[in-house]
Amino acid sequence: MTQDEMKQKVAEAALEYVRAGTIVGVGTGSTANMFIDALAGMKDEILGTVASSEATATRLAGHGIPVLGLNEALQQVDSLSVYVDGADEFDAERNLTKGGGGALTREKIVAAAAVQFVCIVDQTKQVEYLGDFPLPIEVIPMARELIMAEVVKLGGRPVLRDGFITDNGNIIVDVHGMKIKDPLGLEDHLNSIPGVVTNGIFSHQGADIVLMATPDGVEKI
Ligand SMILES: O=C[C@H](O)[C@H](O)[C@H](O)COP(=O)(O)O
Report, as an integer, the average pLDDT of 58-86: 98
Q: What is the C-alpha R_g of the chain?
A: 17
Binned at pLDDT 50, 70 and 90, residue 54 comes out as very high
Q: What is the DSSP string of 96-126?
A: EE--TTS-HHHHHHHHHTBS-EEEEEEGGGB
pLDDT tens digits along 111-126: 999 999 999 999 999 9
Prediction ipTM score: 0.97
Distance 121 CA to ligand 1 centre (A): 9
* CATH architecture, domain defined by 135-199: 2-Layer Sandwich (3.30)
List of residues 6+ apart from 135 with CB closer than 8 A = 97, 99, 156, 174, 175, 178, 180, 199, 200, 201
The atom number, within ligand 1, closest to the CA of 53 reads 1
Report, as an integer, the average pLDDT of 48-76: 98
Distance 142 CA to ligand 1 centre (A): 26
Rounded to an integer, what distance in angstroms lies between the CA atom of residue 21 and that of residue 157?
46
Q: Spell out which residues line ligand 1, taking CB within 6 angstroms.
A: 27-32, 85-88, 98-104, 107
99 marked as part of a ligand binding site? yes
Report, as an integer, the average pLDDT of 36-47: 97
Binned at pLDDT 50, 70 and 90, residue 32 comes out as very high
Distance 161 CA to ligand 1 centre (A): 15
Distance 78 CA to ligand 1 centre (A): 27
Question: Is 0.95 topped by the overall pTM?
Answer: yes
The atom number, within ligand 1, closest to the CA of 100 reads 8
Catalytically annotated residues = 107
What does the domain layout of the chain look like in residue ranges? 3-127+204-220, 135-199
Binned at pLDDT 50, 70 and 90, residue 34 comes out as very high
Phi then psi dihedrals of residue 125, to 5 deg: -90, -5
Q: What is the mean pLDDT of the chain?
A: 97
Fold equal for 3-127+204-220 and 135-199: no
Q: Does domain 3-127+204-220 have CATH number 3.40.50.360?
A: no
pLDDT tens digits along 159-170: 999 999 999 999
Binned at pLDDT 50, 70 and 90, residue 23 comes out as very high
Which residue owns the Cα nearest ligand 1 atom 5?
29
Binned at pLDDT 50, 70 and 90, residue 89 comes out as very high
pLDDT tens digits along 147-189: 999 999 999 999 999 999 999 999 999 999 999 999 999 999 9
101 marked as part of a ligand binding site? yes
Report, as an integer, the average pLDDT of 91-109: 98
Between residues 193 and 1, which one has the greater pLDDT? 193
